[in-house]
Structure 1
Amino acid sequence: MSNSNQTNQLVSKVEGSTLILERIFKAPRELVFKAFSEAEHLKHWWGPKGWTLPVCHVDFRPGGTWHYCMKCEDKNQGDFYGMESWGKALYREISIPEQIIYTDGFSDAEGNISKDLPETLVQLDFIELNGQTKLVNTGKYASPEALQQVIDMGMLPGISQTFDNLDVHLENLQKSN
């Protein structure tokens, strides 16, 4: 397998109630970090194929929040078309450009976290690899069942498509510079 194919590969493993996702991006660590920390970047790539981010409010600091709405704009996605999925993250720790730690939950439009859906403690590690970036996304859930619930909701193909969108965004940013 060539290196370029490996770059686009999402590697996932489950360890009890923890999901570890790894992917290599063809972009410098500072740029990948910036794509995760600024609303003007997130609006271009966050969400699976066919979904947009019409609402994206980022207060990127420990104690700050990221409140967003993903909306399905793809008529080919049947019952999902027109659907909105709200989320809210609370930033706990930020080490630029190495790491972001936050809790992530499903929310409503007002930012109230849903008690019926699993919340995740997310740790993003950005590892410099000779001009590329290895992203290690560690998600900790309250239980293996909570993790299974989000897997059953299609989280793995969704995050894989989201990271595909990030690949395209990073490529476009580097072309324009």
Structure 2
Amino acid sequence: MNTGKKELLISHLFDAPPEVVFRAWTDPEKLKHWYAPDGCTIEYRHIEVRPGGSFHSCVHDPVYGDCWITGTYLEVSAPEKLVFTMLLSDKDGNDVSSAAAGKPEDWPEQLLTTVTFEPVKQQTKVTIHQTVPEEEAKKTGAYQSWIKMFNKLNQMLVNSK
């Protein structure tokens, strides 16, 4: 679906080498500490980070309730790139339509997320691209959540040195 609208694209510079940042994106124990918006927590029913592997997670939001997601890892190239799908689901892993989950009508049923990890001296430039209109991501708070989660991740990386 190409609506001609600008898709979500965010870059962030992290104070750690690519191997360390990549591990923070693929280790479930590390993900639990940063991969949820402020005030929320995340749990994984399962996660298997490998090409063809999948995940089933839930972001617990005290204001908006639970948001269940399933996805499949299409590419796992340590420490350069991760590509995975994201679909809204229920707690049992069944797909849920975007509309039923309260998303705007422009929200795609499936998101493709591509994350690249590029060394920049002693740091890592992470770029995330999602196949969702950036305008909708900003309206729903998804865009802002990525920025806050990246800040949490960077703080976690700095504190673990």
Instruction: Give the TM interval when normalised to the shorter protein.
Output: 0.7 to 0.9
Asked if the contact 1:88/1:104 (under 8 Å) is kept, the reply is yes
Matching residue of 1:134 = 125
Instruction: Tell me the percent identity.
Output: 32
Q: CA offsets per residue over residues 101-143 of structure 1, 9 Å max, x none? A: 11112221112232225221111110001110000111124xx
What amino acid is aligned across from residue 55 of structure 2 in structure 1? Answer: W
**Displacement, 1:35?**
0.5
In 2, the alpha carbon distance for the partners of 1:45 and 1:56 equals 17
Q: CA offsets per residue over residues 54-92 of structure 1, 9 Å max, x none? A: 33521011111121111135xxxxxx16x2111122100
Structure 2 unpaired stretches of 5+: none
Alpha carbons of 1:100 and 1:125: their partners in 2 closer, same or farther (altered >3 Å)?
Answer: same
Report SS of the residue matched to 2:49.
coil
More helix by share: 1
In 1, the alpha carbon distance for the partners of 2:51 and 2:122 equals 28
Matching residue of 1:30 = 19
Alignment map for 1:1-177 (pairs within 5 Å) = 16-55=5-44, 57-73=46-62, 80=63, 83-116=65-98, 118=108, 119-141=110-132, 144=133, 148-174=135-161
In 1, the alpha carbon distance for the partners of 2:117 and 2:31 equals 16
In 2, the alpha carbon distance for the partners of 1:34 and 1:23 equals 16
What amino acid is aligned across from residue 54 of structure 2 in structure 1? Answer: T
**Displacement, 1:150?**
3.5
Count of equivalent residues: 149
Structure 1 unpaired stretches of 5+: 1-14, 74-79
Tell me the TM-score normalized by structure 1: 0.77
Alpha carbons of 1:39 and 1:56: their partners in 2 closer, same or farther (altered >3 Å)?
Answer: farther
What amino acid is aligned across from residue 97 of structure 2 in structure 1? Answer: K
Asked if the contact 1:17/1:140 (under 8 Å) is kept, the reply is no
Alpha carbons of 1:54 and 1:103: their partners in 2 closer, same or farther (altered >3 Å)?
Answer: closer
Matching residue of 1:8 = none
In 2, the alpha carbon distance for the partners of 1:70 and 1:121 equals 18
Alpha carbons of 1:85 and 1:152: their partners in 2 closer, same or farther (altered >3 Å)?
Answer: same
Asked if the contact 2:44/2:55 (under 8 Å) is kept, the reply is no
In 1, the alpha carbon distance for the partners of 2:44 and 2:113 equals 21
In 2, the alpha carbon distance for the partners of 1:151 and 1:103 equals 20
